[in-house]
């Protein structure tokens, strides 16, 4: 995947999921976000579960650059001495999304 900011990864993932659902709706697939029990009507959200492994690297070189990356470490510095501090973390969270209505584009 290369280097990508965490917020960009989350944003693009959710946008592409919704766009795929919208395309399916346009193609005739029945997708609903409503449920009824008797006279009671409910609005249903679907959960998108994220389980992300994050690699954060601080790279200090003769040029003085620092970077924070998501995914495999792909940082390189041309010339000079390089010192890297790397930490690995796991982030798990859920985002409820409304899948039934076509998004405004």
50-69 residue pLDDT tens: 998 877 776 665 554 444 44
Dist. CA 62–CA 31, nearest whole Å: 55
Cβ atoms 88, 68 nearer than 8 A = no
Please give the model's pTM, rounded to 2 decimal places: 0.61
Instruction: Assess contact for 17 and 97: CB atoms under 8 A.
Output: yes
* Residue stretches of the chain with pLDDT short of 50: 64-69, 72-80
What is the per-residue pLDDT for 89?
Answer: 83
Domain residue extents for the chain: 6-36+43-73+82-97
- The pLDDT score that the predictor gives to residue 20 is 92
C-alpha 50/C-alpha 17 separation (Å) is: 13
Identify the H or E element spanning 11.
helix 6-26
């Amino acid at each position: 995947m290369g280097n990508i900011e965490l917020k960009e990864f989350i944003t693009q993932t959710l946008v592409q999921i919704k766009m795929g659902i919208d395309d399916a709706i346009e193609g005739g697939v029945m997708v609903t976000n409503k449920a009824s029990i008797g006279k009671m009507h409910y609005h249903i959200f679907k959960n998108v579960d994220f389980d992300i492994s994050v690699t954060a690297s601080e790279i200090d070189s003769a040029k003085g650059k620092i970077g924070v990356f998501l995914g495999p470490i792909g940082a390189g510095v041309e010339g000079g001495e390089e010192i890297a501090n790397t930490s690995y973390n796991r982030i798990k969270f859920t985002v409820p999304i409304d899948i039934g209505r076509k998004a405004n584009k």
